[in-house]
Amino acid sequence: MHLNINNRKKINFSKMHGLGNDFMVIESITQDFVVSSLKIKELSNRNTGIGFDQLLLIEKSYNSKFDFHYRIFNSNGNEVEQCGNGARCVGLFLILKGLTNKKRINLSTNKKNIIINFISKDIIEINMNEPIFKLNSIINSEKLKNHNFSVKIINNNLLCSLVSIGNPHCVIQVQSIKYAPVKAISEIIEKKFIFPNGINVGFMQILKKDHIKLRVHERNEGETKACGSGACAAVAVGVAKNLLSNNVKVELLGGNLFIEWKGFGNSLYMTGPAKHIYEGYIYI
């Protein structure tokens, strides 16, 4: 039996990764790609599809102030607000595809707008804007005041610091990430009714004021090799609590990111690599 592809659309994509956090990147500027949750689930399957943590979709800008619009979908088909590693890959993709020759790219997203700066060929700095410690967008509770961003959960025994980097994060300080029960604790926290949109959970081990280790369990995904927004969240919490300096090396399972935040009233910057793996196409 021969597959009839005459009535199907050919869609080009790139497979990319940022520190092992891998993506399928598609632009719908020169090609007509209509996204669906079912198709994303099929494509994300690592045995029968392309396999990826997130699908990144680049669209024409809806506002003349921005160069492009950028959307992120988890492997389960759900659209999410932010992805730091993905933003670096999108920047590299736009250059490789000749969609722009700018070294400074303004992207709009569903929640925040971000600025991409090229430090070198594949080392990219992202202006992630100022972290948000106002909890009304993260948590369902009238008892919490905006200046108090730490809450006790799991029988009031575990202190969790909350922050938004365009997407919600819970940061827990641990003695050692090697022995931290990442999966078990994260799954309990994810099911808490106080987090209406789910939450990413980061486990931070402070080595020095300018060096931390981090593991991140991403909502609906599980633990990933690296989480750019999770690294930003951990450093933001550390700086806010005066535990970290303004420039921090974040050591993740997939490699290192460098985060700079001068504290409240300032934007946070993330610097790290983006890598192109291969080109491919699918029929829709």
Residue 135 — φ and ψ, nearest 5°?
-85, -10
The verdict on whether residue 167 carries a ligand-binding annotation is yes
Alpha helix (H) residue ranges in the chain: 37-44, 84-96, 182-190, 228-240
3-state helix, strand, coil in the chain (%, to 5): 15, 40, 45
Phi–psi pair at 5, nearest 5 degrees = -110, 10
Q: Can you tell me whether residue 160 is helix, strand or coil?
A: strand
Which of 83, 160, 170, 232 is flagged as catalytic? 83
Q: Is residue 218 a known part of a binding site?
A: yes
- CB neighbour class for 120 (10 Å; exposed up to 12, middle 13-18, buried from 19): exposed
DSSP helix/strand/coil, 134: coil
| Catalytic choice (89, 160, 227, 232) | 227
Residue 160 annotated in active site: no
Is there a catalytic annotation at residue 227? yes
Query: Of 49, 5, 12, whose CA–CA distance to 28 is shortest?
Result: 12
Q: Is 219 annotated as a binding residue?
A: yes
What 8-state DSSP symbol labels residue 132?
Answer: B
Q: Kindly give the interhelix angle for 228-240 and 84-96, rounded to the nearest 10 degrees.
A: 130
Residue 105's CB: how many other CB atoms inside 10 A? 23
- The catalytic residues are 83, 227
- Binding-site entries for substrate: 21, 54, 74, 84-85, 167, 200, 218-219, 228-229
